[in-house]
Structure 1
């Protein structure tokens, strides 16, 4: 997974795996980005693999955004993300 240090604070592009191996790292990144802006857009087009830990992370981020009255948008779902969302009926 790679993160570009030049990303604007209201955008987050995730590439590579979003699996249990990277969840803690990504949790810290997502929460820091949420703290920096009123709305955060998470681009998932580059996610090549996602597991239930990755889904739990995204749901936690959604709850954190709601609790702090901020907006979190998950956009550009990769095939891997869309397939797991469909399987788990997450919309």
Structure 2
């Protein structure tokens, strides 16, 4: 898929995708015309990158998790109140 398609499916911008690629978080192939081509699994990877960054991780933190970005992330950040009575 092309960069615009990936951006639309992942809910982000083409600028963010280029940034992720520059930082080594995302890879693409190129067409003969130089357009970026992404695998269908890139949608999940981009969503995971966005989720981790929104949780406060840095790009360097996310880089250390590259091996896990192509699968669903575990639900470890879910909210649970410490005291139900306040």
Normalised by the length of structure 2, the TM-score is 0.24
Q: Determine which structure has more spread, i.e. the larger CA radius of gyration.
A: 2
Name the structure, 1 or 2, with higher relative contact order (CA <8 Å, separation 6+): 1
